[in-house]
Amino acid sequence: MAATAAAAPGVGVGVGVGVQTDLRDRGTVDTHLQPGPTLSVPVRVALAPSVMLRTGVRLGFAQGVDTLTWGTDIDGLSVRVEDDGTHKAFGFTALAELGVDVAAPVRGPVAPYGALDLRGGWAGMYHALAGNSRVLLDPAQNDLGSPSNVDPYTMSGVLGGGVGVGVRASIGAPKSQGRPPLSLEAEVGWSGSWWGTADVRKAPPTIEARREAFAWDGLSAGIALVGWIGP
C-alpha cells in the first residue's frame, strides 16, 4: 500500500527549527526586530484523514531595537523622554499554540495544507543600554562595573495568532491501514501579537521607566520532523 500524507488517526510529537522576522512597526513606535531563530515542539492529533489539531510550544529569539521611555522634570514640568535608539534589545518568547490545519485531499505521500492557530505565553525584552538610556541603570540594582550585569529588562504576557501554508510529506512504510511512522512538515506563515506597555525592571523606581507597546507583525519559515504514535 502506498504511503499517503493524509492517513489514519494518531498522535504525533516532533521537533522543528525555523527563522522569524518582525516587519517594521511604523504604526505605533519605531520598534524593529531583525531575523532570529525559532525552536518548536509540535504536537499533532489527526482528527480526520485531512484534518489535524495543532498544539505545542514554540521558543523564539529576535534582536533589534525597542522604544524605552521614562519620566523627568524639565523647568518644573513633568515630561517623558524617549531613548535615542542607540541601545540594543533582545526579545525572547515562549508561546503555546492551539489550532487546526486542513490538508488537500490528494493521494500520495505529499499533501499541501493550510493552518490557523492561536498563540499565547511569555515575552521578555532584555537590553544592552547605551546613549541616553543608560539613565535606566539604577546603581542600587545593577553592578555597573561588571560586564556580566543584566541590564534593565521587561517581562510580559502576549496573545496573538497566526496563519500558514505548508506541505506535509509522509516518510516510511505505514502499518496495515495505518499512518507512516514519520512526517516532514515545511511551512511559511504570518503571525501577529500585541506586546502591551511593560514596566522596566531594575530601573530607578522614581522615573517610571517602561517599554512602549508595539505590534509583532512577523513572517516565519521552518521545518519540523514529527514521529507518529498509534495505529
* Letter string b/e over residues 202-227, b meaning 16 or more CB atoms within 10 A of that residue's CB: bbbeebebbbbbbbbbbebbbebebe
2: in domain: no
User: Does some domain include residue 1?
Assistant: no
pLDDT digits (tens, 9 = 90+) for 156-187: 999 999 999 999 999 987 765 567 889 999 99
Whether 216 is in a domain gets the answer yes
Cα dihedral 197, 33, 133, 80 sign: negative
Judge residue 192's burial from the number of C-beta atoms within 10 Å of its C-beta, 0-12 exposed, 13-18 middle, 19 or more buried.
middle
Cell digits of residue 72: 523627568
Residue with cell 495505518: 178
With respect to residue 5, please indicate whether it lies within any of the assigned structural domains. Answer: no
- In this structure, what CATH number is given to the domain that contains residue 117? 2.40.160.20
**Structure confidence by residue, pLDDT tens digits, 125-142:** 999 999 999 999 999 999
Asked if residue 130 is part of any domain, the answer here is yes
Overall size of the chain counted in residues:
231
175-to-1, 8, 165, 227 alpha-carbon distances in Å: 9, 10, 28, 14
Task: List Cβ neighbours of 63 (8 Å cut-off, separation of 6 or more).
Answer: 33, 34, 36, 88, 89, 90, 91
Distances in whole angstroms, Cα of residue 83 to Cα of each of 15, 56, 70, 140, 143: 39, 37, 9, 21, 21
Number of domains the chain contains: 1
Q: Is residue 224 part of a domain?
A: yes
Q: Let me know if residue 220 belongs to a domain.
A: yes
Range of the domain at 166: 11-229
Task: Say how far apart CA 143 and CA 131 lie, in whole Å.
Answer: 18
pLDDT (tens digit, 0 to 9) for every residue of the chain, 231 residues total? 344 445 567 899 999 999 999 887 655 557 788 899 999 999 999 998 899 999 999 999 999 999 999 998 887 788 999 999 899 999 999 999 999 999 998 888 899 999 999 999 999 999 999 999 999 999 999 999 898 999 999 999 999 999 999 999 999 877 655 678 899 999 999 999 999 999 999 999 999 999 999 889 899 999 999 999 865
Kindly state whether residue 30 falls inside one of the protein's structural domains: yes
